[in-house]
Amino acid sequence: MFNVIVAGCGGISGRWLDYSTRRDDVYIVALVDPVLENAYAHKKNYRLDCPVFSTLDQAIKEVNANLLFDLTPPEMHETVVTTGLRNGLDVFGEKPMAHNMQAAHRIIETADKTGKHYFVMQNRRYLHGIRTLKKVIHSGSIGRPYHVSVDMFLGAHFTGFRNEMEHPLILDMAIHIFDEARYLLNEARAVSAYCQEYNPPHSWYKGAAGADCIFEMSDGSILSFRGSWASRSENTSSHGKWVVSCTEGAGVWDGYSGVWINEAQPVPPGMSYYEEEGLRRQIPLDRQGQEEHDGCLDDMFNSLKNGIPMQTDCHNNIHSLAMVHACIESSKTGRKIYI
């Protein structure tokens, strides 16, 4: 049985409670939020029989727990996660794993010292589209991937903190794209990053709503990301459009439900100009497993129950976070950053 303390009862916590209250091996033993009304609202809405606390320390002292959900704002993650780990709790938490790289390394040190687990929510790895694309580009039918390009253009009208951020696209959104790309490339790590941020003239954001990023990856491939949250037309889905160039063709996910491959054809003898387009073949989506939060939480619980390595364990996820902060450093300095 998993006895869970939920720390943070804001908007995202509903996704976690929707999932957890459907499992018969999960018991919510405490709700924690500095705004007690938020916690009491969840207690009522989910018909929970558990106490409510304003601090995590108090909850840990009062209840018998073995698992912590960290659903707090990013700047709180280090404090919340390390408190849980030091008190013998495994931790599942929302992305990003920390608000900066120094904090992320301290969290990993604490996990290593305590022997407890910290798994980070990366829900977009569990989209059927990205999973189907990974399966097909590693099937051998179109050779080895050497270049990944992702375009994500949206007119994203949020309210609240994102409109005031200095790096809204990179800090709040790009972690999804960068982590998905690493997933596609069998967890390859970025070894360098170059980023040019910008804010379109018509933008409703205070900070940089657009960015072009280029990464060299540890497997020798290149990742190119172009994105904007202030686009007015020719928009993509919120998942972006993915094109993976391979040595014998390409794999594409349109960000919706379309996945296809384009198989390169033999070059005719004596040809001296452009190759013709390859043969396009639609690929049906692989719908095995749940998507997004539910899929990631399935794997998190399965990992703890059965001792199976978790792909979003903090030791791996830090390499996705490093890409975000390398982009910010590159944008500020105008230099290529080695990671």
3-state secondary structure of 321: helix
Whether the ω angle into residue 96 lies within 30 degrees of 0, i.e. cis, is: yes
Compute the distance between CA of residue 269 and CA of residue 107 in angstroms, rounded to an integer: 59
pLDDT value of residue 14? 97
Q: How confident is the model at residue 271 (pLDDT cuts 50, 70, 90)?
A: low
pLDDT (tens digit per residue) in 122-151: 999 999 999 999 999 999 999 999 999 999
pLDDT value of residue 332? 97
Between vectors from CA 237 to CA 152 and to CA 195, what angle results, nearest 5°? 10
Q: How confident is the model at residue 272 (pLDDT cuts 50, 70, 90)?
A: low
pLDDT value of residue 10? 92
> For the chain, which domains are there?
2-120 (3.40.50.720), 124-292+320-338 (3.30.360.10)
pLDDT (tens digit per residue) in 176-214: 999 999 999 999 999 999 999 999 999 999 999 999 999
pLDDT (tens digit per residue) in 46-66: 999 999 999 999 999 999 999
Report whether pLDDT(289) > 80.
Answer: yes
The pTM assigned to this predicted structure is: 0.94
Residue 262 to residues 180, 265, 283, Cα–Cα distance (Å): 21, 9, 11
